[in-house]
Amino acid sequence: MGANFYIRALMEAAAKRLTGRHVEILYQTPYSQRLGRAVNGTAQKSGGRGIITLEPDRPLVDIYKTFLHEAAHLAADWDRFEDSGQPGGVTVKVTYAVNQLHTSMETRAESQAHEWDAWATSRQKTTVGEKLLELAACYPGGVR
Ligand SMILES: [Zn+2]
């Protein structure tokens, strides 16, 4: 089972709660301009909104984990994103130490994604749909 309309709606609601931003979820093969190849997920800023693009042809639990990772980028790295208005992955303004910056961004996003999933699991939620609904409705702090 891949992602469906219901899961997408839950992801958009969870992303709003977790990032404090309006986030659109796209199910299509993402392309990273930085890496020059297709990837499993990208996050970007467009017109003041977040866009998370997810490869749909994967197991749902993997799509979910990538979603959390990309949402973490939007939550933590928002001010680093260029508002390109174009699909195409994480783009950052800085031109120095880009590799080191990306390493720290990836480490932090992965850590945040694990934290969000662990919180949902601690609330006795086991399916992707249950976890997304719990994150969307009850994650502490809510919309910032
Ligand atoms: Zn990442």
pLDDT digits (tens, 9 = 90+) for 7-24: 999 999 999 999 999 999
Ranges of residues in the chain with a pLDDT under 50 are: 1, 87-88, 93-96, 144
Distances (CA, A) of 65 to 61, 99, 109, 115: 6, 23, 11, 11
Q: Quote the ligand 1 centre to 17 CA distance (angstroms).
A: 19
Expressed in angstroms and rounded, the spacing between residue 68 Cα and the centre of ligand 1 is: 10
Sorted by where each begins, the domain ranges of the chain are 5-138
pLDDT score for 84: 64
According to the model, what pLDDT value does residue 4 have? 87
What's the pLDDT at 85? 56
Position 91 scores a pLDDT of 54
Nearest CA among 68, 73, 53, 59 for reference residue 116: 68
| Among the listed residues 89, 87, 105, 88, the one whose alpha carbon sits nearest the alpha carbon of residue 97 | 105
pLDDT at 99: 66
CA of 70 to the centre of ligand 1 (A): 6
CA 123 / ligand 1 centre spacing (Å): 26
Q: Report how far ligand 1's centroid is from the alpha carbon of 39 (Å).
A: 10
CA of 94 to the centre of ligand 1 (A): 16
Q: Is the dihedral of CA 125, 6, 139, 72 positive or negative?
A: positive
Give me ligand 1 centre to Cα 53, in Å.
Answer: 12
**Residue 133 has what pLDDT?**
97
pLDDT on residue 79: 83
Give residue 77's pLDDT. Answer: 83
Task: State how far the Cα of 77 lies from the Cα of 16, in Å rounded to an integer.
Answer: 15
Task: Enter the tokens of residue 108.
Answer: 């932090």
Taking the whole predicted model, whether its pTM rises above 0.75 is answered as yes
Judge: domain 5-138, CATH 1.10.10: yes
Report the C-alpha gap between 85 and 64 in whole angstroms. 24
